[in-house]
Amino acid sequence: MSTVRDLARQSQAAAGTKDRETWLGLFADDAVVEDPIGPSPLCPDGLGHRGAEAIAGFYDTVIGQVEKMHFAIERSYLCGDEIADVGTIHLTMPGGHTVQVHGVFTYRGNDAGKIAALRAYWEFDSVMA
């Protein structure tokens, strides 16, 4: 039986290989992506990207703009239908600039085996400094 950890790994793999359709297909229609949580230039109102259309927009404007993405998960805590991954996302941006996003990345699954919420705890200003 698959767990939300399996969903998290599938999400991370699909983002890393730039497989938009697979990544989007992992989410419930009413899911939310908060990456990072709270207001930031990626989500000025801080309410997250809610629903399939908004999550597709997040993919296109954030993940889709990254040249390379690799998740290095150091620790992972599975509790019921949620998981918290602690680690670093290594990004290569257009032009070759690299960025490391250190944080806690949480996923909540639903009864249908889809991601209901992806929430990322990382400090936007620190990463962009």
Which pLDDT score is estimated for 86? Answer: 98
Q: What is the mean pLDDT of residues 4-33?
A: 97
**pLDDT higher than 80, residue 111:** yes
Q: Which residues of 38-57 are buried (b: 16+ CB within 10 A; e: fewer)?
A: eebebbeeeebbeeeebbbe
Q: CA nearest 11: which of 84, 107, 77, 93?
A: 107
* Contact yes or no for 44/57 (Cβ under 8 A): no
Which pLDDT score is estimated for 1? Answer: 63
Run of H or E residues at 15: helix 4-16
Q: What mean pLDDT value characterizes the chain?
A: 95
Conformation bin of residue 35: beta by default, left when phi > 0, alpha when psi is -120 to 50: beta
Domain annotation for the chain: domains and CATH numbers: 4-128 (3.10.450.50)
pLDDT digits (tens, 9 = 90+) for 92-104: 999 999 999 999 9
Pairing of the two strands 115-121 and 27-34: parallel
